[in-house]
Amino acid sequence: MHFPIWIKITCSDFFEGGLTFAESLDICRRLQQSGIDAIEVSGNIHGKAQQEIGLEWDGHVIRDGGYFLDYAKDIANAVRVPVYVTGGFKDPRQMETALKTSKLAGIGLSRPLLSEPDLVHRWNQGKLQPARCVHCSKCRTPEGNYCTVFAARDAKKGANK
C-alpha cells in the first residue's frame, strides 16, 4: 500500500533557543532521504505575523504576502520533493508570481478561506481582488475555527437590511 506522506514544518521558531532555519533545512533533507513525498513550509509566528513583517530571522525577511516565502524557496532549492508554502498569502497575483519565480509546487491557504469560503470560486471567475482576511489570527476560538471579524460584520450588515 502506498499513499503520499506530506509533512508540515516550521521554517523557524523565531525566538532565541528555538528551532532555527538551518535545523529545519537539515530536517527537510533527512525527511527527503527517508522517502517523504512533499513538504509544506510554515512558521511559528501565530498571532504576531503583522508585527513581524520586514524583520529578518535566520538570514531571511518575513514578507507581507507570503511570510515564509523566502524560507520555502531555499528549501525547494535544497530538496527534490515538491515544496509548498503557507502563511500570509491573500493576493492571487502575488501567489502566481511566487510560483512562477521559484521551484515551489504550490501555496496553501487557511485563514483567507475561513474569512471568505468562496474565495477560490471568486478567483476562478476572474475576480482577482485579494482575500478580505486581515490576518488578525482571531479565527481560532473555543467554538471552532471561523472568521470572527467578518462573521460579526456580516451579521451586522444582515441586521441592517
Q: Per-residue pLDDT tens for 61-110? A: 888 889 999 999 999 999 999 999 999 899 999 999 999 999 999 999 99
Q: Is residue 84 part of a domain?
A: yes
Name the pTM for this structure.
0.86
Q: Report the CATH number at residue 105.
A: 3.20.20.70
Question: Percentage helix, strand, coil, to 5, in the chain?
Answer: 35, 15, 45
Q: Where are the beta strands (DSSP E) in the chain?
A: 6-10, 38-42, 56-57, 60-61, 83-86, 106-108, 140-141, 144-145
Q: Give the three cell numbers for residue 44.
A: 511559528
Mean pLDDT calculated for residue range 143-158: 74
Nearest-angstrom CA–CA distance, 8 and 137: 19
Residue 104: give the domain boundaries. 6-159
pLDDT of 161 higher than 70: no
